[in-house]
Structure 1
């Protein structure tokens, strides 16, 4: 993993060279092992390196053999050796995966992306065509932002702070992005919190030439195969995941794994322990009901890992809130970002690469919100009847006829009767909203739903479309943003074997009935691996890597912070939101809404 940045201008001046160095300095945490810059007449490329593969020969930006094409690249190309063998006639100068990108571009131009596995964000300057070609991986594991500068320059960087460090962009807040944040606790994967800084969406590439920006989608999830045999699917699932873990263990530095004791991380640790010796595993130990440490210890003992634990005691949440303001560049209210950041810092003391179980919940139907949706669909309440998806504590209808396990999840979600939804997908969008449309209006904002979701057919949305929407929207905007920023802040590379292109594409082609029902989640994962899990883990329901925000919000220092940034009429947040509307919402004492508003207020407050 690395950090990348660049400038395209009519003529690269000495001033632009200085600005590029400011940009790469701002993202130095992403690549503490080295720095590089390449200059052409109209383009300047920058790179910060985190050395993982080919430690001595992978310096970037990297030039092609003709010195007319250069690439700056962030990510890992898993199985890149296969690409090298396929393109054996290319005049390679290194053993790095970076050079494979140049070889593929030389052979296929933009179609190189069809042949490129792994996680990546890269930029290629083609001096022959005077063209900048940028791309982001299929699922959005690696970020890429771009903007137009004051002097007509085109700028890009791995993080927003890289663009801002140039001094060439004066950021303007985007109220639509703020509304989206309040709904989902994060900004959409295809936008940024600023109107004049864009995020390249996952599965897209960008071409820039002569002042024109063209953004093209190059990948969409595969269609669902409803005819696949269940037993055959389990066998293929097992084989492809083992193959993915084997590919992602390739590194010239030590590799470890996060282990919460849940099904996903336990499966990754299981397979990694079969393929490598001396595997280190890492867990975060929350206090009280949020602790999963007993399960993590059980899994670590079963798989023979060298287990490291980080305890929550002594952590200053107020300090971490301010730190997250800098780490994420945007408001980000998924409270698990704090323990994730801390655990990444601990892991970096031991290893340079970590395998994670991220992506499993979206691919296998693991989130608690899927079963209530299926129950509502089964009961004919989608499109016909009236159920509310407001996350408002204790605002529930009558749930007497709902099965026990689903009823518990409905209460957690805040689902009851009362509102009409036209489709399962529409219901899911409402289900996920922290603030509803009338809340946003009360805060002085308008609400707009994102529409960048692929349905499986032109038919009404199905549970397959709900799962797909989470892969395309929730996962990159929340989960993958969280782990990228938290890990790269410490110069730690996180790899998610579940998002291996071959394995994930196979999972996306499976019908939802192999993944989730009204009574069971992660069906295919359980069928494939439960025999190899410890008994206590086998019988677990999903807990999630959540944080105790109720306890955090009772902390005296946090309550004082709330008074400062959310109760004072002169606080910066009230340049964006209505003071009166905010106070009315705070009176509800809805914990998720309070936390989300607090994160936004902290982010908007200079420090």
Structure 2
């Protein structure tokens, strides 16, 4: 991933250019490897690059040979090899996985995003028509914001992070996932529209465990497209452990398939998945895994066990409560949110990302998305029906760009580390969201714990010729939210610190500038004050609070420890 900034139809773009470069510099942490910019007509596009694919030739903005089309991309296009074949008549200039977007635009126009398999946010400027087109991936794995200014009503601003827009824009929105903007109509329209997005839809596709397993394996394989060292974030929970296990197998397989005799290191190779599904990648020959927690945290113990089982080279890091508290201002500045759940979980991830980058790694796989797809949060055990279970899954997936995707993207990119999320692969997502939700429901009385079907898909007990993916006690370990798993005292410490910082009187007195969005706990109040130090009131509408479903009788605190089923598990 990288960082992008664009101003379309600025009133004086040449005078504005130095300011635009300074605004883009605010997100250079996202792309520390190189900076580029292009001015055409009254439009400027700026790019901060994190080089992972096409290292020597993939600098941006990317310009078409004719000079009419300029592209800025933040993301990865996993099917770029196939797209190059489809657009074989286009004179490609680089090995960048993003360059095929230009010929796709020429061929399909606003339907170009439909052809992309990946995570992305991009702006393409057509100087011939003085037109800008912007798009974001289906789920919003990659961040993108759009802004308008009352001082320059015809100008449209785009950026990877809020902090680039707050100087010039008095209206800022989180660009909606699965949508495309066209300046011709000045409209944002949806291009990704599967039936399951409708929360009233009740799917009925039968479950096939093998299909489920193979689909996730393919998703992981795609995401090992890299020419740099990579690793996995390993908490020891089900999701990250499965991703790590598959990645270890795929890394080993890719190394076995590499022919050292016929491989020419001087030849320019395309990294990625070819039409036959074979992985072409660089990086380390052995998978590296990374974990973090307070000393003695349950996640650290579980991650250590998984790493030994899958044979990864494991790196374990710890942090103190004080180190976590000291990082809060930086976390909120980079995350651009005041949501309690996001900040709790982001802080350890933020600290770990710094450690990982210091070890020379630029890309990691992470386990976000599984809980939303499979109803894995413990409060889902209180779903009154399969229909409501499905509706809540759809709602959670649709809002991932304001919650876990935002956390995974910004916590890591704060240090120039890219996180890829296999569970949110387009094909895997569509497969899982079309399954009969009765298969996903949590039914302890039947021995069906949360994410039962995902666990069962990778349970090879009845397949003696298949190497187990995980130790049995890890495969069937109960869900711990990341902010809990790093050590229960982390959340307790945050609450204690907030108790000292915020008085009862402060909490009881509404702040007019917060309108209807008044915090209900001292912890939430504390985070909102910190957010307001960095961002104007107009930025608050991009924030969503993550809370369990109240009308299911769920506890107001988002920690999984407060779910009834967690209490039952501990008691038993």
Backbone CA RMSD of aligned residues: 2.4
Partner of 1:599: 527
Give the CA deviation at 1:225: 8.3
In 2, Cα distance between the equivalents of 1:552 and 1:481? Answer: 24
For residue 492 of structure 2, the aligned residue among 551, 562, 584 is: 551
The answer to whether the Cα contact below 8 Å between 2:498 and 2:526 also exists between their aligned partners in 1 is no
Q: Secondary structure at the match of 1:72?
A: strand
For residue 205 of structure 1, the aligned residue among 180, 202, 209 is: 180
For residue 245 of structure 1, the aligned residue among 192, 203, 220 is: 220
Partner of 2:194: 221
Partner of 2:323: 316
For residues 60-459 of structure 1, what are the structure 2 equivalents within 5 Å? 60-149=60-149, 150-152=151-153, 153-164=155-166, 167-169=167-169, 171=170, 196-209=171-184, 213-223=186-196, 228-230=205-207, 233-276=208-251, 277-287=285-295, 291-313=298-320, 315-334=322-341, 335-350=344-359, 351-373=361-383, 376-377=384-385
Cα pair distance change 1:506/1:344, threshold 3 Å: same
Q: What TM-score do you get using the length of structure 2 for normalisation?
A: 0.79
In 1, Cα distance between the equivalents of 2:439 and 2:193? Answer: 21
Q: Secondary structure at the match of 1:58?
A: coil
Cα pair distance change 1:226/1:336, threshold 3 Å: closer
The answer to whether the Cα contact below 8 Å between 2:502 and 2:522 also exists between their aligned partners in 1 is no
Gaps of 5+ in 2: 252-284, 461-467, 536-572
The answer to whether the Cα contact below 8 Å between 1:225 and 1:510 also exists between their aligned partners in 2 is no
Q: Secondary structure at the match of 1:551?
A: helix
Partner of 1:469: 395
For residues 79-106 of structure 1, give each alpha carbon's deviation from its aligned partner in whole angstroms, at most 9, with x where no partner exists. Answer: 2111111221111111111111112111
Q: What TM-score do you get using the length of structure 1 for normalisation?
A: 0.74
In 1, Cα distance between the equivalents of 2:385 and 2:522? Answer: 31
For residues 246-275 of structure 1, give each alpha carbon's deviation from its aligned partner in whole angstroms, at most 9, with x where no partner exists. Answer: 110010001100111111111111111111
Cα pair distance change 1:530/1:349, threshold 3 Å: farther
The answer to whether the Cα contact below 8 Å between 1:120 and 1:142 also exists between their aligned partners in 2 is yes
Give the CA deviation at 1:596: 1.5
In 1, Cα distance between the equivalents of 2:26 and 2:508? Answer: 31
In 1, Cα distance between the equivalents of 2:398 and 2:495? Answer: 35
Give the CA deviation at 1:309: 1.1
Cα pair distance change 1:254/1:319, threshold 3 Å: same
Cα pair distance change 1:228/1:197, threshold 3 Å: closer
Say whether residues 1:525 and 2:454 are aligned partners: yes
Partner of 1:561: 501
Cα pair distance change 1:577/1:31, threshold 3 Å: closer
For residues 369-424 of structure 1, give each alpha carbon's deviation from its aligned partner in whole angstroms, at most 9, with x where no partner exists. Answer: 21111xx348xxxxxxxxxxxxxxxxxxxxxxxxxxxxxxxxxxxxxxxxxxxxxx
Gaps of 5+ in 1: 172-195, 379-460, 586-592
In 2, Cα distance between the equivalents of 1:462 and 1:567? Answer: 39
Cα pair distance change 1:278/1:10, threshold 3 Å: closer
Give the CA deviation at 1:558: 4.8
Tell me which stretches of 4 or more aligned residues in structure 1 moved more than 6 Å.
Answer: none
Say whether residues 1:480 and 2:487 are aligned partners: no
Cα pair distance change 1:124/1:12, threshold 3 Å: farther
Q: Secondary structure at the match of 2:96?
A: coil
Partner of 1:512: 437
The answer to whether the Cα contact below 8 Å between 1:7 and 1:16 also exists between their aligned partners in 2 is no
In 1, Cα distance between the equivalents of 2:426 and 2:118? Answer: 7
Cα pair distance change 1:526/1:62, threshold 3 Å: same
**Number of corresponding residues:** 476
In 2, Cα distance between the equivalents of 1:235 and 1:284? Answer: 32
